[in-house]
Amino acid sequence: MAMPSKPDPRPEEETVRYEIKDGVAWVYFNRPDKRNCMSPKLNRQMGRVLDELEFRDDVQVLVLTGEGPSWSAGMDLLEYFRMSEQEGLHATRRSQREAYSWWERLRWYEKATIGMINGWCFGGAYGPLFGCDLAFASDDAQFGLSEINWAILPGGGASKVAAELMPFRKAMYHAMMGENLTGKQAAEWGLVNESLPADKLKERVTEVANVLKKKDTHALRATKWAVRRVREMTYENAEDYLIRAQEALNDFGGWETRREATKQFLDDKTFKPGLGAFDKSKLQGD
Ligand code: ACO
């Protein structure tokens, strides 16, 4: 007979692991035996890890992926829902804050972020999925808003993520039917940038990270924040915001950076902006 699930004895600090290699922080949801579902412990630990990595000089790009066969099977139905609810409203609210706060932090992260979706991706996992600037899935990954299958609505931002990333009819079908999409379908429907055979996924993500690493860090941050901000602005407000954001960028060393890039194009003729990034190693102090 099947044994009822028990709380996970894995220590909090082991629910997330990371390694840093060549400027890329590879961060893993690390509860593979629980399909990397998000417990309060994991949410707290992920908050700490994001905090540790955000301003490190040896990290230019953060990749969020999962240990084992899953990216993340959404919220932990035992530890995040049942146990918090049994403790009372205060515990439920605390658990929500712990989860939502790291997803929000990811949405506005200083460094470029890439979701590498290696397997299951359900419900609450759409929060961090949307938090990542770019996302690449393996063809055999499975994406689902399974909430409707257990009689709740896609909360924790998941409905918003579907409506943001997918055309209306597709978002509605996805949320109402509770059917899964493969990585390939997720790419067609706009949940991820691309889908690749599982054995090519890391290679492609590394390639993308390597391109991002060559960009000016401040310009990259301003760009990704701009694309997120302007979604909810009128055209006029967006134009104005972008002027201000560029002016702020100038104060972050933007003048010198641009002077050097322009010089490499117009005077030295060593690079063409239309064909790749300027050589930032030539910048003083870099
Ligand atoms: N919450 C709690 N425990 C989970 C979750 C979850 N979301 N997902 C997996 N687990 C646990 C299982 O209970 C099991 O624990 P046990 O070994 O202590 O019994 C263990 O992880 C392995 O899971 P299996 O179901 O045995 O793994 P399998 O590979 O057969 O299936 C699958 C994987 C399809 C992901 C399945 O586990 C599943 O349906 N999980 C729930 C997915 C889901 O709907 N998540 C909630 C989305 S809604 C939201 O996030 C608000």
Q: Do residues 279 and 161 share a domain?
A: no
Nearest CA to ligand 1 atom 41: 73
Q: Do residues 146 and 39 share a domain?
A: yes
Q: What distance in Å separates the CA atoms of residue 59 and residue 20, rounded to the nearest whole number?
A: 7
Residue at token pair 């067609």: 188
Q: Do residues 276 and 158 share a domain?
A: no
In a domain, 184, yes or no: yes
In a domain, 255, yes or no: yes
Q: Do residues 170 and 221 share a domain?
A: no
Nearest CA to ligand 1 atom 30: 35
Q: Do residues 118 and 224 share a domain?
A: no
Whole-number Å distance, alpha carbon 73 to ligand 1 midpoint, is 6
Count CB atoms within 10 A of the CB of residue 61. 25
Q: Do residues 43 and 165 share a domain?
A: yes
Atom of ligand 1 nearest to the CA of 70: 35
Percentage of the chain beyond pLDDT 70 is 99
Q: Please provide the average confidence, as pLDDT, over all residues in the chain.
A: 96
47: pLDDT strictly greater than 90: yes
pLDDT tens digit sequence for 149-183: 999 999 999 999 999 999 999 999 999 999 999 99
Phi, psi of 4 (to 5 degrees): -60, 145
- Record the tokens describing residue 146, joined without a space: 């399974």
Nearest CA to ligand 1 atom 19: 5
Whole-number Å distance, alpha carbon 72 to ligand 1 midpoint, is 9
Q: Residue 166's pLDDT is what? A: 97
In a domain, 3, yes or no: no
Q: Do residues 257 and 194 share a domain?
A: no
Q: Residue 2's pLDDT is what? A: 87
> Quick check: helix, strand or coil at residue 270?
coil
Q: What distance in Å separates the CA atoms of residue 87 and residue 258, rounded to the nearest whole number?
A: 55
Atom of ligand 1 nearest to the CA of 79: 2
Per DSSP, 4 falls in state P
Percentage of the chain beyond pLDDT 90 is 96
Domain at 177, CATH number: 3.90.226.10
In a domain, 5, yes or no: no
Whole-number Å distance, alpha carbon 274 to ligand 1 midpoint, is 46
- According to DSSP, the residues that pair with 120 across neighbouring strands are 70, 142
286: pLDDT strictly greater than 80: no
Q: Do residues 208 and 221 share a domain?
A: no
1: pLDDT strictly greater than 80: no
284: pLDDT strictly greater than 80: no
Residue 285, classified by CB atoms within 10 Å of its CB into exposed (0-12), middle (13-18) or buried (19+), is: exposed
Whole-number Å distance, alpha carbon 86 to ligand 1 midpoint, is 20
194: pLDDT strictly greater than 60: yes
In a domain, 105, yes or no: yes
Q: How many domains is the chain built from? A: 2
pLDDT tens digit sequence for 197-218: 999 999 999 999 999 999 999 9
Q: Do residues 101 and 114 share a domain?
A: yes
Q: Do residues 167 and 208 share a domain?
A: yes
Contact 115, 106 (CB under 8 A): no
Q: Which among 188, 213, 238 is the end of a domain?
A: 213
- From 3, 30, 31, 35, give the residue whose CB has the most ligand 1 atoms within 8 Å, as the site to mutate: 35
In a domain, 226, yes or no: yes
Domain range for 144 is 12-213
- From 1, 8, 37, give the residue whose CB has the most ligand 1 atoms within 8 Å, as the site to mutate: 37
Pick from 118, 126, 116, 114: nearest CA to 166? 126
Q: Do residues 97 and 133 share a domain?
A: yes
Alpha helices by DSSP H, the chain: 40-54, 83-87, 89-107, 126-131, 158-165, 168-177, 183-189, 201-214, 217-230, 235-249, 255-266
Nearest CA to ligand 1 atom 31: 35
Whole-number Å distance, alpha carbon 63 to ligand 1 midpoint, is 23
In a domain, 32, yes or no: yes
Pick from 65, 10, 104, 97: nearest CA to 198? 65
Q: Residue 285's pLDDT is what? A: 59
Q: Ligand 1: residues within 6 Å at CB?
A: 5, 34-35, 37, 73-78, 120, 122-124, 146-147, 156
- From 39, 77, 92, give the residue whose CB has the most ligand 1 atoms within 8 Å, as the site to mutate: 77
- Record the tokens describing residue 107, joined without a space: 């949405």
- Range 28-55 burial, b when 16+ CB lie within 10 A, else e: bbbbeebbbbbbbbbbbbbbebbeebee
Whole-number Å distance, alpha carbon 216 to ligand 1 midpoint, is 41
Nearest CA to ligand 1 atom 39: 73
In a domain, 4, yes or no: no
Q: Do residues 63 and 25 share a domain?
A: yes
Per DSSP, 254 falls in state I
Q: Which among 177, 194, 213 is the end of a domain?
A: 213
